[in-house]
Amino acid sequence: MREGAFFRGLARENPLLVYLLGLCPALAVSDLVSKALGLGAGVILVLLAAVAAARLLRPVIPERLQPLVWLVLVAALVSLVDLAMQAWLPALRQQLGVYLQLLAVNCLILGLVERLARRRSLSRCLRLAAGQGAGFTLALLLIALVREVLGSGTITLFPFGSFGGVIRIPGLSLHPARAVSLAAGALLVLGYLVALAGRLKAGRRRAEQRSAG
Amino acid sequence: MSFVGIIFTAVFVNNVVLYQLLGLCPLFAAAGSRRSALGLGLAVSLVLALTAPAVWALQHLVLVPLRLAYLQTLAFVLLIAGIFQLVRLAGLVLARLAPAAHRALGVHLPLAAVNCVVLGSCLLLVPGLSSAGRSAIAGLSAGAGFLIASVVLASIQARLRSEWVPEAMRGLPITLVSAALMALGFLAFDRVLLAKLFG
Amino acid sequence: MMGSCQSGLEAPVSRELAGLIALSRSEVRRTAETPCIGCGRCVSACPWSLAPVEIYKALEHRRFAEAEEAGLAECTECGCCAYVCPARIPLAAGMRRGKSAAARG
Amino acid sequence: MRSGGAFALEQFPAPHLHEGTTTAGMMFSVVLCLLPAGLWGVLLFGPRALYVLAVSVGTSLLTELAVSGLFLRRFTLGDGSALLTGLLLGYSLPPAVPLFIPAVASFFAIAVIKLTFGGLGRNWMNPALGARVFVMFSWTGPMTRWAAPLAAADALSGATPLGLVKEALAHPVHGVRGPIELLLAGLHPAGLKAGFFPDLLQRLGRLTPAGYGQLALGTMAGCIGEGSAFLLALGSVYLFVKKIIAWEIPAAYLGSFSLLAWAFGGLPFGTGLFRGDVAFHLLSGGLALGALYMAADPVTSPLRRPGRILFGLGCGGLTFLLRTWGSQPEGVALAVILMNMLVPLLNRIGARPAAEVKK
């Protein structure tokens, strides 16, 4: 049963936990849920645009030059997203800071653009890319939720009409475990999530072997 | 800020790995052995020492005067890619001249994943510095900080390989937890300590 | 300290047998083996200044290169380390098993 | 085991005798040596301190039981290490701390720092110290509110001796020649409760030179078990005699720290080089508990003598650095966990030279 390309990106081949790609910006940005969502959206946007452009440009560009061209392509797209965010969401852009620009060298995006550019059907590429992007955002959201709830006792989203944007958790927000929202907490949370993902994957593989065997 | 202040900040207070959380992909890839961790650390320090002043010059002499600051990301990426090629060529030359040095250093030069820490450090360091010389020192110190974290983590990883670590934690998870505990220790180096020590 | 233990009374007695020791149950009271806490007593007890704990741990995880490097070849299985080890780890026996396992590779 | 004739002999590998020590025995004797300092702390700070200790020890035993049982499927309460970690952690907490802090700290110490690595002997960081740093950075406010010992009312005294020194370093008070004068000036006038025990302390205090008596007996604001350096030192003598703690680490640690405190301690007070008040620094804060019991923890310290001496020197230097210029008055916990990271490297120093036979 071949899961749809989109869903494969979400769980089974969840980029962040299983392949640990694009780990660099994820951790530093995962102390607030709004920042995680912002970066996740950025990754999905850049990924879709880059894969589409690469898929179309591929026949035109000589083989040897392709890595360099993809690098420039992704960097240009990241700058575009950066400018757009500075225009419409300045507060979020300010919070993300350098880590949004770092998407230009993100292993996940560059790796995917390289891999997907060779695929034949454009729509399948886009669905795979969207799946991987959504998987990345989901995993990042998971880390951000754990870190922000424990580390600052709140869930910051985007202000919308009367809703101020910050959900305060009654008990925890008075005495949150601030260390969890520091760098140490990020590495710890990711460590346990990777262990969990590894155990789930091993469990699923054992289940498949048993059913296949 | 004095030179020593810059060095102390870049190595301990704003440690590239344990404070900025940059360069985690190459770090965990090289945590396998102390030798590869040392090689990676030296390679990153060398590359950073070269790119930081170049990036500073590009920023302050080209982008800002011509009001092209919005091209910063693109410009930096291209510059770093260029320097990368230079360093790789130097690596090939080094291979012929001093194979031993190359083996310790060279194996990591083409590592594309390194540019996370290179671009990240440049973007974080450059705005705060006032001269190309200071950027070179800051770049080198950021690389040294990476080297320290990388070698210490690799030595811990080497010890854990001979211990009965629980099944689910073996490999990357236990390295991540160890890095987390190291980051906890590095909290000792904070802004107050920096201010009191170096003014 | 270094004598090998016999499983029954029919073991033949040969000319170069140096001595026969019969220990009472209380003298040989075995306590359960607990994890090593790195106290370093075995390191100071070893007459060849080896680090029995490092060799044993390397052997336990089948890291024969590290065990060799830590000095497996020089260990004469004198048992001083196992005698002082508070965690009651059978270090000397581990070395013996390790040497044959290392030989087999 | 083949059945061998009239009666089968069980076969065991050589050597067949043993010195008789066990890890559990060592752990429980350390706990025993720690008890006097703990009792003293409870006497000084009242039942509040007892609750903190109870929660700290209780949670660590519970966590060890649960996590070790569920995830590692082993019963490991018997080795006494969870009890020791809980006790050490309780000693390093202020008496007026809200009770959820020792609970979270103990859980973090046992579940994250120790059992995630596989249990006793496999963690590379001292669980009690790592948890204390985690808790200090998470709840800095409650962790730096100090209760005055035996205070008439439940008054919160200003600061610990080290806190007073840190205050003095920030904005120097002219005319103060050393930390002890600061201490006497800063000593809270609230006075002690009436009763036999406080009067005894008064008389004991007067026997020793001004101020040092209070410091050695720990009748100052501070953490539960760290107060009386005298009782901690007394307890540790037994451990050195029985070789449960290696003497190299405390010797190098306290030695290097005293040297630095003596050499550079006087500078902030303007009394020039080599005027530092060593006794004050040695007797105050967590140095006694940290150097004798925490740094010397065999699991997280080097195997060989050269490694241990370097470990102690490192701890001494870092403690002095953090106490003088750090953001918090106490630097022992951070200093030791920073050195814990280097233990695998330190273990490579003094590794076996080729077949050198011990004389």
Instruction: Look at residue B189 in the predicted model and tell me its pLDDT.
Output: 92
Report the residue from C9, C27, C71 with minimal CB separation from D6.
C9
CA-based end-to-end distance of chain B: 7
Instruction: Look at residue D226 in the predicted model and tell me its pLDDT.
Output: 78
- Following DSSP, what letter does each residue of D154-183 receive, concatenated? -PPPS--HHHHHHHHHHSPPTT--SHHHHH
What average pLDDT score do residues D209-227 get? Answer: 73
Is the ipTM beyond the 0.90 threshold? no
Interface subset of D 115-174, CB within 8 angstroms of C: 119-122
> Which spans in B161-190 are helix H?
172-186
Q: How far is A156 from chain B (nearest CA, A)?
A: 22
pLDDT at residue B12 above 90? yes
Report the residue from D72, D334, D345 with minimal CB separation from B188.
D334
CA distances from B69 to A46, A70, B116, B134 (A): 20, 22, 20, 21
pLDDT at residue B146 above 70? yes
What average pLDDT score do residues D45-64 get? Answer: 92
Q: How far is B105 from chain A (nearest CA, A)?
A: 22
pLDDT at residue D3 above 60? no
Q: Which of A26-35, A50-59, B8-17 is modeled with the greatest confidence?
A: B8-17
Chain-centroid distance of CA D283 in Å reads 13
pLDDT at residue C81 above 70? yes
CA-based nearest residue to D134, from D343, D340, D333, D290: D333
Instruction: Look at residue A2 in the predicted model and tell me its pLDDT.
Output: 47
Which is higher by pLDDT, B107 or A171?
A171
What average pLDDT score do residues D320-331 get? Answer: 86
pLDDT in tens, D103-155: 999 999 999 999 999 989 999 999 999 999 999 999 988 888 877 776 654 45
Share of chain D above pLDDT 70, in %: 80
Q: Which of B33-42, D158-167, D274-283 is modeled with the greatest confidence?
A: B33-42
Instruction: Look at residue B99 in the predicted model and tell me its pLDDT.
Output: 65
Give the 3-state secondary structure of residue D151.
Answer: strand
CB contact under 8 A, A187 and B179: yes
Q: State whether residue C68 sits within 8 Å of chain B by CB.
A: no
What average pLDDT score do residues D20-47 get? Answer: 88
Q: State whether residue B162 sits within 8 Å of chain C by CB.
A: yes
Which is higher by pLDDT, A206 or B109?
A206
Q: State whether residue A199 sits within 8 Å of chain D by CB.
A: no
Q: State whether residue D5 sits within 8 Å of chain C by CB.
A: yes
pTM: 0.89
Report the residue from A20, A21, A27 with minimal CB separation from B172.
A20
Report the residue from A71, A187, A198 with minimal CB separation from B81.
A71
pLDDT at residue D357 above 80? no
Instruction: Look at residue C100 in the predicted model and tell me its pLDDT.
Output: 87
Q: Model confidence at D19, in pLDDT bands (50, 70, 90)?
A: confident
pLDDT at residue C42 above 60? yes
Q: Which residues of C touch D298 (CB under 8 A)?
A: 37-40
> Which spans in chain C are helix H?
41-45, 52-60, 64-69, 80-84, 91-104
Q: State whether residue D351 sits within 8 Å of chain C by CB.
A: yes
Instruction: Look at residue D124 in the predicted model and tell me its pLDDT.
Output: 95
pLDDT in tens, A32-49: 999 999 999 999 999 999
Report the residue from A175, A178, A188 with minimal CB separation from D112.
A188
Give the 3-state secondary structure of residue D303.
Answer: coil
Chain-centroid distance of CA C85 in Å reads 10
Domain count, chain B: 1
pLDDT at residue A156 above 70? yes
What average pLDDT score do residues A146-168 get? Answer: 83
What average pLDDT score do residues D187-207 get? Answer: 60
Residue A105's φ and ψ, nearest 5 degrees, are -115, 25
pLDDT at residue C26 above 90? no
Instruction: Look at residue D4 in the predicted model and tell me its pLDDT.
Output: 43
Instruction: Look at residue A204 in the predicted model and tell me its pLDDT.
Output: 79
Task: Pick the residue of D124, D299, D315 with the most B CBs within 10 A to test the interface with B by mutation.
Answer: D124
Q: Which residues of A touch D112 (CB under 8 A)?
A: 188
Instruction: Look at residue D190 in the predicted model and tell me its pLDDT.
Output: 44
Q: How far is B46 from chain A (nearest CA, A)?
A: 19
Which is higher by pLDDT, C29 or B184?
B184
CA-based nearest residue to C25, from D345, A204, D16: D16
Q: Which residues of B touch C60 (CB under 8 A)?
A: 162
CB contact under 8 A, D331 and B188: yes
Mean pLDDT of chain D: 82
pLDDT at residue D102 above 90? yes
Interface subset of D 206-265, CB within 8 angstroms of C: 243, 246
Q: Model confidence at D82, in pLDDT bands (50, 70, 90)?
A: very high
How far is Cα D183 from Cα B144, in angstroms, rounded to an integer? 42
Which is higher by pLDDT, C12 or D50?
D50
CA distances from B81 to A71, A148, A201, B152, D250 (A): 9, 36, 36, 29, 51
Instruction: Look at residue D1 in the predicted model and tell me its pLDDT.
Output: 38
Q: Model confidence at A22, in pLDDT bands (50, 70, 90)?
A: low
Tokens for B10?
């870049």
| Nearest residue in chain A measured CA to CA from D112 | A188
In sequence order, what are the residues at sequence separation of 6 or more whose Cβ sits closer than 8 angstroms to the Cβ of residue A201? A18
Q: Model confidence at B147, in pLDDT bands (50, 70, 90)?
A: very high
Q: Where are the domains of chain C?
A: 36-104
| Nearest residue in chain B measured CA to CA from A178 | B184
Mean pLDDT of chain A: 82
Instruction: Look at residue B24 in the predicted model and tell me its pLDDT.
Output: 84
| Nearest residue in chain A measured CA to CA from D136 | A179
Instruction: Look at residue A15 in the predicted model and tell me its pLDDT.
Output: 53
Report the residue from D12, D23, D352 with minimal CB separation from C49.
D352
pLDDT in tens, B21-68: 888 878 887 777 888 888 888 888 888 898 899 988 888 888 788 887
CB contact under 8 A, B163 and D117: yes
Which is higher by pLDDT, B142 or A123?
B142
pLDDT at residue D306 above 60? yes
| Nearest residue in chain D measured CA to CA from B185 | D338
Q: State whether residue C1 sits within 8 Å of chain D by CB.
A: yes
pLDDT in tens, C49-60: 888 999 999 998
Q: How far is B175 from chain D (nearest CA, A)?
A: 10
R_g of chain C computed on alpha carbons: 15
Q: Which of B59-63, B180-184, D330-334 is modeled with the greatest confidence?
A: B180-184
Contact indicator for D174, D168 with CB cutoff of 8 Å: no
Q: Where are the domains of chain D?
A: 246-359
pLDDT at residue B123 above 80? yes
pLDDT in tens, A107-150: 778 888 888 877 778 888 888 888 888 888 888 898 999 999 99
Q: Which residues of D touch C38 (CB under 8 A)?
A: 121, 298-301, 303
- Following DSSP, what letter does each residue of C14-28 receive, concatenated? -TT--------TTTT
Which is higher by pLDDT, D283 or A195?
A195
